[in-house]
Amino acid sequence: MLFFTQCFGAVLDLIHLRFQHYKAKRVFSAAGQLVCVVNPTHSLKYAPTRCAAAQTSTEQGILPPCHHHEAVHDPQLVPCTCPLFSCPWEGHLEVVVSHLRQTHRINILQGAEIVFLATDMHLPAPTDWIIMHSCLGHQFLLVLRKQEKYEGHPQFFATMMLIGTPTQANNFTYRLELNRNQRRLKWEATPRSILECVDSVISDGDCLVLNTSLAQLFSDNGSLAIGIAITTSKVHSSEAEI
C-alpha cells in the first residue's frame, strides 16, 4: 500500500505538471514562444550570505574578518551565484553555468523569447522560482522571489542577471511582460551582472516588483506566466512601462 501510495502521488504530480504545461502552451503557442514550467523552492539560505554580510559590515564601517586562506584568495574566483543556498563553492565565471546545472539542478531554456510559468504562487515567503535562459550566445539567470520586504506584506520580485561581467551586461536589454485578461504590464531594463549579487538587486528594488493583489490579477489558478525577451542594445536605459 505504501508503494502504491508513493507511486500514485508521483503520477498525480506528473499529471499536474503536464496540465500546467499544456495550459501555458495553449495560451502562448500562437506567439511561437517556448514555455518552461518552474516549480517553487523554499530558500534555505536566509542566514547572512557572504555578499550580504560584507555589505552590512561595510555599511557599519567594519571590515570583514581576515582569515589566512583569504590572504591567498584568487581574485578571479567568484562565489556560487545561486540565490537559493549558502553554497561554499567558488570558481571561475566560465564554469558557473555548469555548477548551477549540475549541483543545483537549475534548468536552462534556449530561445529569443520564452515564457516563464511559475507555479504555486500561494506558498508562503520566502520562496524562489529560478531558471537559466540561453540567448544571443550568453546565459542569463531569471529569479522570481516571493519575499516579505515588510512584515505581513509579501511581494514578488523578478529580475534577470547575466552570467558575465557588468561590461557584458550593459550590451543587453531584457523585457519581462505579464499579459492576462486584457491587462498588460511590462518591465524593461539592462540586466545586472551576476557578480553584483541577486540579493542586492532585490533589496534595491531595481527589478519588476508586484504586490500580492497585482500578482493575483495576472495569475491563473495559482500560476504566473512571465514572457521574457532579450535583445542587444546600444542605448542603455532602465524603465518600467505599464
Provide the CATH number for the domain around residue 76: 2.60.210.10
Residue 199's closest CA among 18, 36, 43? 43
First to last CA, the chain: 53
Whether 16 is covered by a domain: the verdict is no
Specify which residues 173 forms β-bridges with: 231
What's the number of domains the chain is made of?
1
Return d(Cα 162, Cα 168) in angstroms, integer: 8
Predicted local confidence at residue 44, as pLDDT: 59
Predicted local confidence at residue 225, as pLDDT: 95
Residue 52's closest CA among 75, 83, 76? 83
Return d(Cα 104, Cα 106) in angstroms, integer: 6
pLDDT band for position 149 (50/70/90)? Answer: confident
Residue 206's closest CA among 184, 236, 239, 234? 239
Predicted local confidence at residue 24, as pLDDT: 47
8 A C-beta contact, residue 141 and residue 130: yes
pTM exceeds cut of 0.75: no
Whether 93 is covered by a domain: the verdict is yes
Whether 60 is covered by a domain: the verdict is no
Predicted local confidence at residue 29, as pLDDT: 42
As a whole number, mean pLDDT of residues 199-227 equals 93
Most confident of 3-12, 94-103, 149-158, 168-177: 168-177
Whether 17 is covered by a domain: the verdict is no
pLDDT tops 50 at residue 31: no
Predicted local confidence at residue 82, as pLDDT: 78
pLDDT in tens, 175-206: 999 999 889 999 999 999 988 888 889 888 99
Whether 156 is covered by a domain: the verdict is yes
Whether 2 is covered by a domain: the verdict is no
The CA radius of gyration of the chain, in Å to the nearest whole number, is 19
